Amino acid sequence: MHAGAAGRTIVEAHDVTRVYGAGEAEVRALDGVSVSFPEGRFTAIMGPSGSGKSTLMHILAGLDRPTSGSVVLDGVAISQLGDRALTELRRDRVGFIFQSFNLLPVLTARENIVLPLSIAGREPDAEWIERLIDTVGMRDRLTHRPAELSGGQQQRVSVARALASRPAVVFADEPTGNLDSKSGHDVLTLLRRSVDEFGQTIVMVTHDAAAAAIADRVLVLRDGRVVHDGDAPDTEGVYELMKSLGG
């Protein structure tokens, strides 16, 4: 394990509930979730459609607020922060990778990678950025715009963007969902390397057993509750696990 991974908790949720709507239309998307994510670990969150995976990720990342319960991110009780402080904390300490890449179409690959730092008014750590560019293998595509890149290349740019600020945690929602299996595997390998080589903490929502198998830990949600939490098995083991939990 990476030298920086001392087992410190980076994100924790305490008895988090999230209720959408009211009355007849009420949906309990999360129903008393308590979970913690130690530094330098790669966690996959799985579960059927509608089980609350994205809702949990959004609440852990400070993109949404719990109806009750609390979240501590990198030592900060984020449920108590105002909108502005929360935005700054996300910008400075959280990296995001989305299924649909979310790159800015008018910017080049390099500009997209450093964009979060530019917005924060921070000077990029040049050596780190160059290392990331090589790690994700985008050195010869840096002046290309997203429309001139394949899906796999765009997602590799968003991996570098997510890591650029050396965030406390990276949240990824279905990062391989729009990729063919080869490009998906490349992106997963990159995420794995960032954990092994840089001690990055990653929380990844996925439906893909092969993606979950590359993680250290698999958390399964069902009806807004954690129904399994254990070390990640191999791909076959993830299929077996999902089957034993009723899909």
Ligand X SMILES: Nc1ncnc2c1ncn2[C@@H]1O[C@H](COP(=O)(O)OP(=O)(O)OP(=O)(O)O)[C@@H](O)[C@H]1O
Q: Using CB distances below 5 to 8 A depending on partner kind, what does residue 158 bind out of ligand X, Mg ion, none?
A: none
Residues 232, 184: Cα–Cα separation, whole Å:
18
Q: Using CB distances below 5 to 8 A depending on partner kind, what does residue 84 bind out of Mg ion, ligand X, none?
A: none
State the residues that interact with ligand X by CB under 6 A.
20-21, 27, 29, 47, 49-55
Element (H, E) at 109: helix 109-120
Q: How far is the CB of 209 from ligand X (least distance, A)?
A: 14
Q: How far is the CB of 50 from ligand X (least distance, A)?
A: 4
Q: Using CB distances below 5 to 8 A depending on partner kind, what does residue 50 bind out of ligand X, Mg ion, none?
A: ligand X
Q: Is 206 in the site for Mg ion (CB under 5 A)?
A: no
In degrees rounded to 5, what are phi and psi of residue 152? -65, -40
Coil vs helix vs strand at 42: strand
Residues 168, 200: Cα–Cα separation, whole Å:
7
Residue nearest to Mg ion (CB): 54
Which of 38, 48 has the CB closer to ligand X?
48
Q: Using CB distances below 5 to 8 A depending on partner kind, what does residue 183 bind out of ligand X, Mg ion, none?
A: none
User: Using the rule CB under 5 A, which residue among 43, 51, 54, 135 binds Mg ion?
Assistant: 54
Burial of residue 230, with CB atoms counted within 10 A of its CB: 0-12 exposed, 13-18 middle, 19 or more buried: exposed
Q: How far is the CB of 196 from ligand X (least distance, A)?
A: 27
Which of 55, 165 has the CB closer to ligand X?
55
Distances (CA, A) of 58 to 23, 93, 203, 210, 214: 24, 15, 11, 23, 22
Which of 52, 167 has the CB closer to ligand X?
52
Q: Is 55 in the site for Mg ion (CB under 5 A)?
A: no
Q: How far is the CB of 195 from ligand X (least distance, A)?
A: 23
In degrees rounded to 5, what are phi and psi of residue 51? -80, -10
In degrees rounded to 5, what are phi and psi of residue 192? -60, -45
